[in-house]
Amino acid sequence: MAKTGPLVLDAMIVTGNTKAAIKAAGGGSSDLWTVPPDQIHYDPRDNVRPLDHDRVRHLAELMKANGYDRKKPLGCFVRKVGGENRIFVYEGQHRYHAALLAIKEGGFAKDKEIDRLPCVIDEAKSVNRANLIYAGITNNDGEKLTPLQLAEKVIELRELGETNGTICKRLNITDQTIRDVLLLATAPSALHKLVRDKVVSSTLAIDEIRTHGGEKALERLQNAAQQAKAGGKAKVTKKTLGKPVAHKISHVQAKQLLQALQAVLHDPAFGQLKRPTIAGVHTALLPVKDLLDTKGGS
């Protein structure tokens, strides 16, 4: 049986003192806190979306030409680490990494250098793992999470004690959406890879799992992926999967069956067959007697 990926829960956050962290980082404030980029810390577990390095590269080039847009501050919180108050980014990870990359490479346009990044730091009392997840999902609404990414976070929220009703309300999603993404989450890891690699859409994967179960869905989708690749295509579609075999006899097949029965009827040994067999042939052919050949027979 294909294995499913285990869920690793994160440790509880120990919040720190904002002013102490800003002072220790050498930051200052106007309408926003401004902090030297190398004094802002990053933990991928605090961000709901995996880091897209192509997007980081794109933003870095924009920053070199235009500077950092202060109208888009980073969302941060303060975490206690080894007794120190450290600022961690949880919203705007791509902007944060792009700024670091641009600084490392240099080549800024005149007066566009980056020495500090604007930050909005959450109050310590509002910082917990569930709130970081909710904020990360809703703040990414312009670029929605994939169903698989959403599934991973729904599972984590449920492990943190959040009810389906609360999750639906805070994310403005339906209970059916939760059922669908959890169905996807429990599928084999190999099927997850097909979705992550964009070989199979999440919607198609969910439909297949609902209809055939996880293991059979994986088998069908893997076979379809091989067929698509052989045909020079990168993605599996419903058309690639093909339609289920119809339980109907085609016109050609019907004609072949009629000819076979007529051959039996015209065979010289037909009369030697058992009575039920003879009766069955006559019963089958009687409704279509006008279609039979006129050559002799019983």
Residue 22 and residue 39 in contact, taking contact as beta carbons nearer than 8 Å: no
Are 33 and 69 found together in one domain?
A: yes
pLDDT at 13 over 50: yes
What's the one-letter identity of residue 278? I
Retrieve residue 106's tokens: 């240099």
Are 170 and 125 found together in one domain?
A: no
More confident residue, 117 or 245: 117
Average pLDDT over residues 63-80: 92
pLDDT at 4: 61
Among 222, 241, 260, the domain boundary falls at 241
Are 189 and 264 found together in one domain?
A: no
Are 151 and 116 found together in one domain?
A: no
In a domain, 155, yes or no: yes
Nearest residue to 129 (alpha-carbon basis) of 2, 43, 64, 4: 43
pLDDT at 215 over 70: yes
Are 195 and 113 found together in one domain?
A: no
Burial profile 272-294: b = 16 or more Cβ within 10 angstroms, e = fewer: eeeeeebeebeeebeeeeeebee
Are 40 and 130 found together in one domain?
A: yes
The tens digit of pLDDT for each residue in 130-148 reads: 999 998 888 765 567 888 8
Are 258 and 281 found together in one domain?
A: yes
For residue 40, list its beta bridge partners. 87
- Whole-number average pLDDT of the chain: 85
Nearest residue to 129 (alpha-carbon basis) of 158, 97, 103, 166: 158
Retrieve residue 53's tokens: 């390095």
In a domain, 130, yes or no: yes
Question: Domain of 157: which CATH number?
Answer: 1.10.10
The CA distance from 279 to 132, in Å, is 77
pLDDT at 139: 78
In a domain, 35, yes or no: yes
Are 121 and 99 found together in one domain?
A: yes
Residue 154 and residue 178 in contact, taking contact as beta carbons nearer than 8 Å: yes
In a domain, 255, yes or no: yes
Among 139, 161, 177, the domain boundary falls at 139
Rg (alpha carbons) of the chain, rounded to whole number: 32
Which 8-state DSSP code applies to residue 81?
Answer: E
Average pLDDT over residues 80-95: 94
In a domain, 297, yes or no: no
Are 159 and 132 found together in one domain?
A: no
Are 92 and 35 found together in one domain?
A: yes
CA distances from 67 to 59, 92, 102 (A): 10, 16, 10
pLDDT at 243 over 70: no
The CA distance from 169 to 173, in Å, is 7
Please give the residue range of the domain that contains residue 226.
147-241
Are 213 and 272 found together in one domain?
A: no
36: Cβ–Cβ under 8 A, 6 or more apart, which residues? Answer: 25, 26, 27, 115, 116, 117
The CA distance from 89 to 51, in Å, is 13
- The SS3 assignment for 90 reads strand
The tally of domains found in the chain comes to 3
Retrieve residue 209's tokens: 């799992």
Q: How many CA atoms lie within 13 A of 73 on its CB side?
A: 16
Q: Is the pTM of this model over 0.85?
A: no
Range from 26-35, 49-58, 122-131 carrying the lowest mean pLDDT: 26-35
Are 220 and 194 found together in one domain?
A: yes
Among 120, 139, 158, the domain boundary falls at 139
